[in-house]
Amino acid sequence: MTSPQTAGFTVETTKLLDEAKLWETEGLEMESIGKKAGALRFSDPGLYTLFVPRYHLMVDAVVARCNEALGRMTEIRDTLSHIATLYEATEERHAQQLGSVGPKP
């Protein structure tokens, strides 16, 4: 990716894309945690019969929060990627426009 420089500032689209990748990685980790938490449900009623309903509520809450985090992290990843792509496309379009305005040989 490029690092266009104009008017004394730099836009690092690679930084945006690196950050998007980080959010994707962390989102996948949240998905993994949610799956592991879901596996903690008791399926064998026995001695723990009194605790199982409350315990399952806690497990379900953890799984739900992990799934919610995954969704939000995916949104952040997509937004960062979209911004980088949009910026690069806009810069390319502007460069082409400026190139067409220059002197003709």
pLDDT of residue 25: 96
The domain locations on the chain are 8-91
pLDDT of residue 28: 95
97 Cα distance to chain centroid: 33
Half-sphere exposure of 77 (CA within 13 A, CB side): 15
Instruction: Per residue of the chain (105 residues), give pLDDT as tens.
Output: 455 555 545 567 889 999 999 999 999 999 999 999 999 887 776 666 777 888 889 999 999 999 999 999 999 999 999 999 998 888 888 878 877 766 666
Which DSSP letter does residue 103 get? -
The backbone torsions φ and ψ at residue 9, rounded to the nearest 5 degrees and listed phi first, read: -135, 160
pLDDT of residue 89: 87
pLDDT of residue 54: 84
